[in-house]
Amino acid sequence: ALTGVDLERVVYGKPELATYKYADEVMTSWMEQIHGEEKLPENIYMVGDNPASDIIGGNMYGWNTCLVRTGVFQGGDNDENNPASFGVFVNVLEAVKTAMRKELGQDFKFEWSSDKVNPVFSGSQDHSAIE
């Protein structure tokens, strides 16, 4: 080492445990600010496009994981090595809509104004983003 001292190295990011603990702290704070109670919902959903970081980390932390085909992952079925526990979706919007239906019941109708959703086309994949 340049300093003559061995330095301790700390790695942050997904799938490191510290990242998910921090997310828990932030969500708990939001729940307190918004709902007046420091209690997280029973089900937390992790949406990501990378099985080796997003999905494995969410699975290790006990969250429901949603794998989307909008970036790193472009496969058809669930990832073989790090499968998403809640499923594979064409985009984030579909993952969120499916999770909302699970949490709020099948009668939940997701409505949005067409001027708030932008379709994005990348190759043969159809993606959308909410502004």
Compute the 3-state secondary structure of the chain and give helix, strand, coil in percent, each to the nearest 5. Answer: 35, 20, 45
Tens place of pLDDT for every residue, the chain, 131 residues? 577 888 888 777 888 888 999 999 999 999 999 999 988 889 999 999 999 999 999 999 999 999 999 999 998 899 999 999 999 999 999 999 899 989 888 666 656 555 555 544 444 444 444 43
**C-alpha angle 104-106-109 in degrees, rounded to nearest 5:** 80
Check if the beta carbon of residue 90 is closer than 8 Å to that of residue 103.
no
- Contact partners, residue 122, CB within 8 Å, separation at least 6: none
Residue that has been written with the tokens 């921090």 in this structure: 22
Task: State how far Cα 18 lies from the chain centre.
Answer: 16
Domains of the chain: 44-130 (3.40.50.1000)
pLDDT at 114: 53
In three-state secondary structure terms, 128 is strand
**C-alpha angle 68-17-73 in degrees, rounded to nearest 5:** 20
